[in-house]
């Protein structure tokens, strides 16, 4: 698909989503060249490093979707091609004999025809965000947590423009500043965005307490009720590998003491 975008010098956004890793990548192209990249793993290098580990993904190209960000230089495009070459060597992706671009204008439906979030689902997402805000507050304090969470929401808006109308209230709940726009957002886009939002909040905690403890803290504040609801929505999942890390580390530290 990237080869086809380059060949026809297309303008648009190539979106890649990996539900298993809760990863999102948006690649913006101008005249077939990589112009900008956004995702929930940080800078371009971190995004591509994560992409190298993918085993699956859902891809969609939206023609004409542009960005106002400054154009990336050729070094980043070369990094992208090296990443794709690595995945091809592993057999994860392959170059089709007749590559085609899926043009969103051919498959998109009207907003009214797309499934929207239900009030019950929104309540789950809003309560989940409130509880995650408690986890961040536990580590950095309530005042700093509000600033951090708003920064994370603003960063997510680069990949999910709908998040530009979300603000974090002092209570930790989300406030929608433009209901007329928010009510038209497809359900899956919101679920994808909240998956990125919650995982980014967890990553924020990692340098402070470690990966295992950060995951355990998020699980603790979500509780069985909201955690199960998020799992059913495909927004959050329990990572047993992360949970298994810190106990061993604590036992080792205990022996050293």
Mean pLDDT for the stretch of residues 56-62: 82
Dihedral sign for Cα 66, 69, 74, 75, please.
Answer: negative
Q: Where are the domains of the chain?
A: 2-108, 113-256
pLDDT for 132 equals 93
pLDDT for 245 equals 65
Structure-token pair, residue 102: 């899926």
pTM higher than the cut 0.75: no
Mean pLDDT for the stretch of residues 76-90: 86
pLDDT digits (tens, 9 = 90+) for 146-183: 898 988 888 877 777 778 888 888 888 888 887 666 66
Q: Which of 49-58, 199-208, 221-230 has the highest mean pLDDT?
A: 221-230
pLDDT for 112 equals 38
pLDDT for 1 equals 80
pLDDT digits (tens, 9 = 90+) for 195-220: 888 988 888 888 899 888 999 999 99
pLDDT for 203 equals 85
Structure-token pair, residue 116: 């929207």
């Amino acid at each position: 698909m990237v080869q086809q975008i380059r060949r026809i010098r297309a303008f648009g956004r190539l979106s890649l989503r990996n539900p298993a890793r809760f990863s999102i990548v948006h690649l913006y192209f101008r005249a077939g060249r990589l112009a900008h990249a956004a995702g929930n793993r940080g800078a371009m290098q971190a995004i591509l490093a994560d992409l190298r580990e993918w085993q699956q993904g859902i891809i969609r190209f939206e023609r004409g979707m542009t960005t106002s960000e400054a154009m990336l230089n050729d070094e980043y495009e070369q990094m992208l091609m090296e990443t794709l070459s690595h995945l091809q060597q592993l057999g994860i992706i392959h170059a089709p004999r007749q590559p085609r671009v899926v043009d969103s204008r051919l498959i998109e439906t009207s907003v009214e025809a797309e499934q929207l979030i239900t009030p019950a689902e929104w309540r789950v997402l809003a309560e989940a965000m409130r509880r995650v805000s408690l986890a961040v507050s536990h580590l950095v304090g309530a005042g700093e947590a509000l600033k951090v969470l708003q920064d994370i929401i603003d960063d997510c808006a680069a990949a999910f423009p709908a998040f530009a109308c979300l603000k974090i209230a002092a209570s930790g709940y989300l406030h929608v500043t433009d209901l007329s726009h928010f009510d038209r957002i497809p359900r899956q886009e919101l679920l994808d965005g909240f998956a990125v939002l919650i995982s980014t909040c967890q990553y924020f905690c990692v340098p402070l307490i470690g990966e295992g403890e950060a995951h355990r803290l998020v699980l603790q504040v979500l509780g069985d009720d909201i955690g199960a609801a998020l799992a059913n929505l495909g927004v959050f999942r329990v990572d047993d590998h992360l949970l298994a890390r810190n106990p061993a580390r604590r036992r080792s530290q205990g022996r050293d003491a």
